[in-house]
């Protein structure tokens, strides 16, 4: 069996777990000699600061809950908030005090915590009575009522079972549970149903009694034990007179610092709700209320939960304190307004490649074999520079053949002239012309064995150094030469953006090799042919360089180009891609399309 100190520690742990804003807590217990000792602390593994224990000891003689407003300038390392103290009673005599440290800007939580501690004190009294061998029937009743409220999954079943069990255990004629809606309480569960004729009137009368309790934020008992009390009980008196209730007790239900409902107990005896019974009812409501509130909130539709959340946030904005939340919200609203109304330059970005405006092709002049090559791709060449040589051995033999043939025919031609053989002279003359033509052809081919560059530029394609002796046919491409004074920029623009481009738009180009030197460009041409790459569709857009930096540029350099479209809203610039995709996705799956 738990000791008394263990029982108090368990109660404090449960109490603090129900107070979401609690920072630290202690329970001081009075010994027989009147001194105070530390009976429990929360968290258990952290010793309480001296300031908390001192304030609790100073408030131990008070008969009601109180709040000690701490000066944050003094000892701030030990005091983070306000300290709420509440006396602990046993057999109507004060035997200790509980002190809970709360944040300094938690006024609503302080009020809710004060009520929870008052009801928890009555619950601790029942626990201690049972522990010392006193009458445990009240404790068993409360435990059974809590068990009944937890048996069912739905809120309505749990609420109906709980109020019925309360009426049976507490001997009440009727127990009703109501929750606030539009500033008034509506009865959602009642232990005993009335006739169809009286039901609506009874529900309104009970709801009015609940309104009185929530409006005054306290437990109301009719008839009053203290005639000098300032409590208003008109609705309770009307309920008692109309439906024969001898005594009525209404207890508000709080959650997250605000009142959200109430529970009304009706009994035929006029003096049924004495202080002990009132404490028992409050302890029961303190335990069962949060259970039913949680079940009811779980069953609400999403819109209602969102509305409650918005109301809570709005209360923080319009109420006192919560400076950090207000500042963060104000900055968020300012940022949102800035994005909605501010404008910026909208630019279309695309991968860019630098190409020469013209590329000259160097082809094989005739069928032959590669003899040697002196250049590779990337080499700079000048006009008429030798790029490679073709094998000329066969051509030299051919040249010797036709040279000998021409000399032979000329000798025969002279002999025919001397013999006055006119017909033979004409034949030999034609043969000599044919031989000389063949000789000139061979000489021309010999001159073409030296393949030269057609212009100043750079070799961008063609490497014959690894193909010496390889055969080539007439017309085969040997080299491609690009001039270094004229370039074009080829942009690969995504199909989602190409519709926003038109010839004449300006932009900038940054090459990977020259990241610190942006170059101005202007769009010249948008090709109507697309290319698929990595699952995306691109269009080639040609742009012209406006800056003369040809001395540092080379064909094939890559980078990123940005084309300026115009001024657009910043929120549109950052979200238009997602919105376009969403429109397309919705249209493609819409049944109306």
User: Is 184 in the same domain as 231?
Assistant: yes
∠ Cα 411 412 418 (to 5°):
95
User: How many helices (DSSP H) and strands (DSSP E) are in the chain?
Assistant: 14, 24
What token pair was written down for 364? 């094989």
Residue 452, token pair as written in the block: 């030269």
> 463: left (phi > 0), else alpha (psi -120 to 50), else beta?
beta
Q: Are residues 259 and 330 in the same domain?
A: no
Q: Cβ neighbours of residue 344 under 8 Å, at least 6 residues apart?
A: 567, 568, 570, 573
Q: Report the SS3 class of residue 3.
A: coil
Question: Under 8 Å CB-to-CB from 353, ≥6 apart: which residues?
Answer: 489, 490, 492, 556, 557, 558
Measured CA to CA, the distance from residue 60 to residue 54 in angstroms comes to: 10
Q: How many domains does the chain have?
A: 5
> Range of 309's domain?
302-341
Name the domain boundary from 430, 450, 479.
Answer: 479
For residue 551, give both structure tokens.
Answer: 């001395």
Q: For residue 353, is it within any domain?
A: no
What CATH number did the domain enclosing 124 receive?
A: 3.30.450.40
Please tell me whether residues 254 and 370 are part of one structural domain.
no
Cβ distance 109 to 23 under 8 Å? no
Question: Are residue 332 and residue 214 in the same domain, yes or no?
Answer: no
User: Are both 313 and 294 inside the same structural domain?
Assistant: no
Residue 593 lies in a domain: no
Structure tokens at 349: 């970005």
Domain presence at residue 281: yes
Residues 179 and 292 placed together within one structural domain of the fold: yes
Instruction: Provide the token pair at 234.
Output: 């008109």
Separation between Cα atoms, residue 487 and residue 358, nearest integer Å: 8
- Note the pLDDT of residue 1: 43
Structure tokens at 376: 């590779």
Does residue 238 sit in the same domain as residue 314? no
CA–CA gap between residue 409 and residue 250 (Å, rounded): 141
Say whether both 451 and 495 belong to one domain: no
Q: What is the CA radius of gyration of the chain?
A: 50
| Last-in-domain residue among 134, 164, 190 | 134
- Torsions phi, psi of 229, nearest 5? -70, 145
Tell me the CB-side half-sphere exposure of residue 399, using CA atoms within 13 A. 13
Closest CA to 273 of 365, 363, 381, 173: 173
> Same domain for 317 and 411?
no
Q: Is residue 142 situated within a structural domain?
A: no
The residue whose two tokens read 């109430």 is 262
Our CA angle for 408, 411, 414, nearest 5°, is 150
**Can you read off the two tokens belonging to residue 36?**
């105070």
The sheet with strand 66-68 has its strands ordered as: 36-42, 24-30, 93-103, 81-90, 66-68
Within-domain flag for 234: yes
| Residue 334: burial class (beta carbons within 10 Å; 0-12, 13-18, 19+) | exposed
User: Distance between CA 272 and CA 42 in Å, rounded?
Assistant: 37
If asked whether residues 445 and 575 sit together in one domain, one would say no
Does 358 fall in a domain? no
User: In this structure, is residue 139 part of a structural domain?
Assistant: no
Give the domain-ending residue among 454, 479, 504: 479
DSSP strand pairing (184-190 vs 220-222)? unpaired
Exposure on the CB side of residue 253, measured as CA atoms within 13 A: 22
Q: Which residues pair with 84 in a beta bridge?
A: 67, 100
Domain-located, residue 324? yes
State how far the Cα of 263 lies from the Cα of 249, in Å rounded to an integer: 8
**Residue 532 sits in the same domain as residue 557:** yes
Instruction: Supply angle C-alpha 513, 517, 518, rounded to 5.
Output: 105
Conformational region of residue 193, where left means phi above 0, alpha means psi within -120 to 50, and beta covers everything else: beta
Distance between CA 127 and CA 548 in Å, rounded?
Answer: 92
**Per-residue confidence in pLDDT tens, the chain, 593 aa:** 456 777 777 777 777 777 767 778 888 887 766 677 788 888 877 777 777 777 777 776 676 677 776 544 444 444 456 788 887 776 556 778 888 887 765 566 676 677 777 767 766 666 666 555 545 556 666 767 777 777 787 888 888 898 988 888 888 889 999 998 878 889 988 887 665 566 788 888 999 999 999 888 888 998 887 666 678 888 999 988 888 888 999 999 877 667 889 999 998 888 888 887 887 888 788 878 878 887 888 777 777 778 777 877 787 777 766 788 888 888 988 988 887 888 889 999 999 998 887 778 888 888 888 888 888 887 888 888 888 888 888 778 888 888 888 888 888 888 888 888 888 888 888 888 888 888 888 888 887 888 888 888 888 788 888 888 888 888 888 888 888 777 889 999 988 888 888 899 999 999 988 888 888 999 999 988 888 877 788 999 999 888 766 667 888 889 999 999 989 888 888 888 888 888 888 888 875 54
Q: Give yes or no: residues 26 and 109 share one domain.
A: yes
């Amino acid at each position: 069996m738990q000791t008394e100190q263990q029982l108090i520690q368990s109660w404090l742990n449960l109490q603090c777990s129900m107070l979401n804003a609690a920072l630290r807590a202690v329970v001081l217990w009075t010994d027989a000699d009147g001194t105070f000792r530390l009976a429990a602390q929360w968290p258990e593994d952290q010793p309480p600061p001296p300031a908390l224990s001192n304030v609790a000891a100073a408030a131990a003689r008070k008969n009601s809950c109180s709040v000690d407003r701490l000066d944050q300038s003094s000892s701030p390392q030990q005091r983070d908030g306000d300290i709420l103290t509440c006396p602990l009673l046993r057999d109507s005599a004060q035997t200790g005090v509980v002190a809970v440290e709360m944040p300094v800007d938690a006024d609503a939580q302080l009020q809710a915590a004060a009520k929870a501690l008052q009801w928890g004190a009555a619950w601790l009294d029942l626990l201690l009575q049972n522990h010392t061998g006193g009458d445990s029937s009240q404790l068993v009743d409360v435990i059974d009522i809590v068990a009944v409220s937890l048996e069912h999954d739905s809120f309505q079943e749990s609420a109906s079972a709980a109020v019925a069990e309360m009426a049976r255990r507490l001997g009440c004629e009727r127990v009703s549970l109501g929750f606030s809606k539009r500033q008034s309480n509506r009865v959602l569960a009642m232990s005993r149903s009335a006739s169809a004729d009286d039901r609506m009137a009874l529900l309104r009368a009970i709801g009015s009694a609940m309104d009185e309790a929530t409006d005054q934020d306290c437990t109301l008992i009719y008839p009053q034990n203290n005639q000098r009390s300032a409590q208003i009980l008109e609705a309770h008196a009307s309920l008692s007179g109309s439906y024969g209730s001898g005594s009525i007790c209404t207890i508000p239900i709080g959650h997250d610092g605000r009142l959200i409902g109430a529970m009304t107990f009706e009994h035929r005896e006029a003096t049924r709700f004495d202080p002990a019974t009132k404490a028992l009812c409050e302890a029961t409501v303190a335990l069962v209320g949060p259970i039913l509130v949680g079940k009811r909130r779980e069953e609400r539709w999403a819109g209602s939960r969102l509305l409650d959340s918005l109301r809570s946030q709005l209360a923080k904005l319009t109420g006192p304190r919560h400076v950090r939340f207000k500042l963060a919200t104000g900055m968020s609203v300012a940022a949102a307004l800035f994005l909605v109304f501010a404008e910026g330059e909208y630019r279309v970005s695309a991968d860019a490649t630098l190409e020469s405006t013209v590329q000259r092709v160097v082809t094989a002049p005739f069928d032959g074999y590669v003899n040697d090559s002196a250049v590779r791709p990337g080499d700079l060449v000048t006009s008429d520079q030798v790029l490679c040589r073709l094998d000329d051995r066969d051509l030299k033999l051919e040249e010797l053949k036709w040279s000998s043939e021409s000399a032979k025919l000329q000798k025969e031609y002279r002999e025919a002239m001397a013999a006055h053989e006119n017909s033979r002279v004409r034949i030999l003359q034609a043969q000599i012309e044919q031989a000389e033509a063949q000789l000139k052809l061979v000489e021309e081919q010999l001159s073409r064995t030296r393949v030269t560059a057609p212009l100043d530029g750079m070799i961008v394609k063609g490497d014959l150094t690894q193909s010496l002796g390889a055969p080539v046919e007439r017309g085969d491409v040997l080299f491609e030469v690009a001039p270094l004074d004229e370039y074009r920029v080829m942009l690969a623009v995504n199909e989602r953006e190409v519709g926003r481009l038109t010839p004449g738009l300006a932009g900038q180009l940054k090459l990977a090799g020259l990241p610190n030197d942006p170059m101005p460009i202007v769009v010249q041409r948008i090709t109507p042919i697309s290319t698929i790459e990595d699952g995306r569709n691109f269009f080639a857009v040609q742009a012209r360089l406006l800056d003369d930096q040809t001395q540092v540029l080379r064909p094939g350099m890559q980078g990123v180009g940005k084309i300026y479209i115009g001024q657009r809203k910043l929120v549109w610039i950052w979200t238009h891609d997602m919105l376009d995709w969403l429109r397309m996705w919705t249209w493609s799956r819409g049944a109306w399309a």
